[in-house]
Amino acid sequence: MMVPIPIQAMRPLMPWLAPGGPKGRLSILIYHRVLPEPDPLLPGDPDATSFRWQMQVVSRLFHVLPLAEAVKRLQDGTLPPRAACITFDDGYADNHDVALTILRELGLPATFFVATGFLDGGMMFNDRIMETIRRMPTGEVDLGEMGLGTRRIDGLDERKALIKEIIQSVKYLELGEREEKVARLVAQCPQALPDDLMMTTAQVQALDAAGMEIGGHTHSHPILARLPDEEARGEIAKGKETLESMLGHRLRLFAYPNGKPGADYLPQHAAMVRECGFEAAVSTAWGVSTRETDPYQLARFTPWDDSPGRFGLRLVRNLFRPHCPNGASV
């Protein structure tokens, strides 16, 4: 069990734990959503209040940089001490509506990795599952098409557990099969699903205009390791081309969907990202990146703690995990 340490006690340790220069260590945080209000079905996503104090802790402990700048300085050996970056995956509308306001209040840069296939009214498969189960009445639901039989929905805990089970059951299916199964589940929903969970084109452009970085995240957010190489390459390229046309400038950064090295993407996908013209890419492997880390497989992590002391301590503890995708020690 972690014992929280006051933030002011952590700060003097930071230059030692996260030095700059050739021995620099770069922390990169992952977020997906920042909710206007708490959502009991999304306990892992902060609401605006929680996100504000999290960003305050980050700004007190770290020197927050734009990701593209941080990656270049990491490779050049000129990274400042206590370097960190803030990133968001997928392209949720609350990134613009909620997170952007708080980031601008605190003067913090961030990078938003956008899956272009869901902009302007689309919805990712996991959200369609969650929003369907959220709206299902108490009683039995037929999940035979998913191999899960008939289940009964009663309270909140049952809904949360069922959402998790359904997502895991279809996550790694071939894309067409997954879409078919999810569509059949959605067809049982007695209410229409929302059409405003993801950003609009105008919101992505507004983030860019506000000085935030926009990065590629494929077009339809597939598990790249489950696709034939040409399809994977096409997904990476289409997302990049769509965003570049939308924004009028070149994209430099990429995030692998799901992001686990060896499971969700493979070495050939890192090569594809480089060949498509990206300068760096981020995974979801925990730890910090050093000059020895492949710039196309940078580490990221998500502190989930619900108090500033524990949150700050987890940020510090992550500094003890230098990341090399090939498993070598640093």
Residue 285 lies in a domain: yes
Q: Which of 186, 206, 230 is the last residue of a domain?
A: 186
pLDDT of 52-103, one tens digit each?
Answer: 999 999 999 999 999 999 999 999 999 999 999 999 999 999 999 999 999 9
177 and 57 assigned to the same domain? no
116 and 133 assigned to the same domain? no
206 and 62 assigned to the same domain? yes
**CA-based nearest residue to 102, from 39, 45, 200, 34:** 34
* Total domains present in the chain: 2
User: How many of the other CB atoms lie within 10 Å of CB of 226?
Assistant: 16
Least confident of 22-26, 73-77, 138-142, 196-200: 138-142
Spell out where the chain has E strands.
Answer: 27-31, 63-64, 83-90, 111-114, 139-143, 149-153, 213-216, 253-255, 280-282
**Is 227 in a helix, a strand, or coil?**
coil
What confidence category does residue 328 fall into, taking pLDDT thresholds of 50, 70 and 90? Answer: very low
What confidence category does residue 1 fall into, taking pLDDT thresholds of 50, 70 and 90? Answer: very low
Residue 325 lies in a domain: no
What is the average per-residue pLDDT within 260-270? Answer: 97
pTM greater than 0.85 (yes/no) = yes
129 and 256 assigned to the same domain? no
Residue 313 lies in a domain: yes
133 and 259 assigned to the same domain? no
Rounded-to-integer distance, Cα 32 and Cα 117, Å? 16
Q: Are 160 and 168 in contact (CB under 8 A)?
A: no
90 and 232 assigned to the same domain? yes
Residue 2 lies in a domain: no
145 and 100 assigned to the same domain? no
Mean pLDDT of the chain: 93
**CA-based nearest residue to 254, from 206, 288, 221, 229:** 221
Q: Name the region of 199 (left: φ>0; alpha: ψ -120 to 50; beta: rest).
A: beta
Reply yes or no on whether the pLDDT at 12 is more than 90: no
Rounded-to-integer distance, Cα 229 and Cα 232, Å? 5
Structural domain that includes position 130:
125-186
pLDDT at 226: 94
242 and 302 assigned to the same domain? yes
Strand pairing report for 111-114 and 83-90: parallel
Residue 330 lies in a domain: no
13 and 42 assigned to the same domain? yes
Residue 12 lies in a domain: yes
| Cα Rg of the chain, angstroms | 20
31 and 55 assigned to the same domain? yes
Residue with tokens 């770069």: 26
| Sequential DSSP letters for 254-313 | EE-SS--BTTTB-HHHHHHHHHTT-SEEE-S--SBB-TTS-TTSB--B----SSHHHHHH
pLDDT of 173-232, one tens digit each?
Answer: 988 899 999 999 999 999 999 999 999 999 999 999 999 999 999 999 999 999 999 999
**CA-based nearest residue to 30, from 317, 264, 300:** 300
Reply yes or no on whether the pLDDT at 20 is more than 80: yes
Reply yes or no on whether the pLDDT at 305 is more than 90: no
Residue 267 lies in a domain: yes
What confidence category does residue 265 fall into, taking pLDDT thresholds of 50, 70 and 90? Answer: very high
Residue 44 lies in a domain: yes
What confidence category does residue 4 fall into, taking pLDDT thresholds of 50, 70 and 90? Answer: low
